[in-house]
Structure 1
Amino acid sequence: MAQPHAYDEIAMEYGGNIVFLRASLRAATLIEKMDGGFAGVLQKLQQGHTRTLRDIVLNSATDRTTALALLDTMQDENLSVIQQTLIAPAFAILTALMTPDLSTEKPTPTATTTAKAKPVAWADFYSELYQIATGWLGWTPDAAWNATIPEITNAFQGHVDMLKAIHGGGDDAEQSNTQTAEQHKAIVEAGFDPEFDREGLRALKEMSKQKTGETA
């Protein structure tokens, strides 16, 4: 299974029905709050823990009611079939949330000269994104919660560029943009969770490939 772009909705099919999952800010916040945080969720995914798979689907579904109905139809299904159906989309969502696509973000003039940013908690990072979306960008709370991480960061970058074009740049805007870029760099280079299991993430990816019949 190819790794999806963070913007894409991920289709989960069973019994002729389809549920769409989205790596939204709401999904990120809810899944990170699950027992054990991302490290605990990753470990349980590796074990094929069905309740964890179910919770990831429900927390990331674009239509929770439809997702719940689909999951209820699977109650009498064999465990292996449930795992085969849920693990690939659940893994895709977790990967999108733990490795956000920041490749399109423009570097700031001072980004290469500042000291390495200190890692911050995932919850704090998501809280900051919500503040940026609703405060700086003026989005409604619902729009902010449904947006993906790249959608928020790219929109914020465009907003800052607009302010610079209109006002010729400003210390406050540049400082806020630089801080965000440094924090994003810290995510990619070090991760936030000290228990982040990068080897486990790779192992889960291999498991996902096997479940979907994809060869490496």
Structure 2
Amino acid sequence: MAMRLANDEITLALSPSVTVTLRPSLRAAFRLNEKYDGFQALFLAIREGNLTAITDLIDATRIGHRYREPSIAELLAPEVKDRLLAFIPVLCGADDNKTDAEPQSGEPRTFEEEFTDLYKVATGWLKWPPSVAWSASIAEIVNARDGYLELMALRNGKRDDTETIDATKGMPADLRKEINAIGRGKR
């Protein structure tokens, strides 16, 4: 399975002289989810042309600190709104290339729970410093976690390349379900 990584960032041309690059970091996802009580509210606000929501998304995800403030007309341009709306699923970790998604069983998890677990994986399992964990995209953390699980499976006696890797085998069911759910947000 190929996961979105290289195209996580987008560049918006707000005018001929103003471009801004947006990165879907874990910190931005966590903060925007908290501020808007979920991504659906953020999506709807941007779709309706809410300037606060548009600038919140740009400010939370923008790379670099200096740029000329765009005009209202630039922010409300249909192509800008469309690109921002398409960016929201990337921000919350959706993988449109994933075709083998397992149906989620049990209680649905909130984005806040998912993001907290991803932060724990990044800083705990992967031993990334907090600044790296917060600036990484969800796709990067999930892909790194999967690589870590594959490494652990290899270290623990994976027999051949055709064997299915299940690094959670033998763990208590609750912990196994929690680990396997990381990266799948409530949608």
Shorter-chain-normalised TM-score: which range? 0.7 to 0.9
Q: Does the residue aligned with 1:139 lie in a helix, a strand or coil?
A: coil
The correspondence for 1:83, drawn from 76, 80, 97, is: 76
Structure 2 residue aligned with 1:179 = 178
| Number of residue pairs aligned between Structure 1 and Structure 2 | 171
Q: What is the deviation of 1:48?
A: 0.4
- Structure 2: gaps (5+ residues): 159-165
Residue type of the partner of 1:90? L
1:133 is the counterpart of 2:122: yes
- TM-score by length of structure 2 reads 0.76
Which residues in structure 2 correspond to 1:1-216 (within 5 Å)? 5=4, 7-8=6-7, 9-13=9-13, 14-63=15-64, 65-66=65-66, 69-70=67-68, 72=69, 74=70, 77=71, 79-84=72-77, 86-98=80-92, 100-101=94-95, 103=97, 116-168=105-157, 173-174=168-169, 175=171, 179-182=178-181, 184=183, 187=185, 191=186
Task: Tell whether the 8 Å contact from 2:12 to 2:21 is kept in structure 1 after alignment.
Answer: yes
Q: Which whole-Å deviations, capped at 9, do the CAs of 1:81-122 have from their partners, x for residues lacking one?
A: 321164133213212134511756998xxx79xx81321111
> SS at the partner of 2:44?
helix
* Cα distance per residue 1:44-65 (max 9 Å; x no partner): 11210011100100001121x1
Q: 1:139 to 1:106 in 2, by over 3 A?
A: farther
Q: Using the alignment, how far apart are the partners of 2:182 and 2:63 within structure 1?
A: 28
5+ long unaligned stretches in structure 1: 193-216
- Give the conservation status (yes or no) of the 8 Å contact 1:157–1:177: no
1:174-195 C-alpha deviation (Å, 9 max, x unpaired): 445653334545x3xxx35xxx
Going from structure 1 to structure 2, the CA distance change for 1:106 and 1:179 (only over 3 Å counts) comes to farther
- Equivalent pair of 2:33/2:39 in contact (CA under 8 Å): yes
- Counterpart residue type for residue 89 of structure 2: T
CA contact (8 A) 2:12 2:80 kept: yes
Q: Which structure's residues are more often helix, by fraction?
A: 1
Task: Indicate the larger mover: 81-90 or 149-158.
Answer: 81-90
Report if aligned partners of 1:134, 1:144 keep a CA contact under 8 Å in 2: yes
Q: 1:143 to 1:98 in 2, by over 3 A?
A: closer
Aligned residue for 1:11, secondary structure, equals strand
| C-alpha displacement of 1:164 | 1.6
Deviations 1:10-58 (A, max 9, x none): 0012232321101111111111012343222122112100111001000
Which TM-score applies when normalising by structure 1? 0.66
CA RMSD of aligned residues (A): 3.1
* CA distance in 2: counterparts of 1:42 and 1:95, whole angstroms: 9
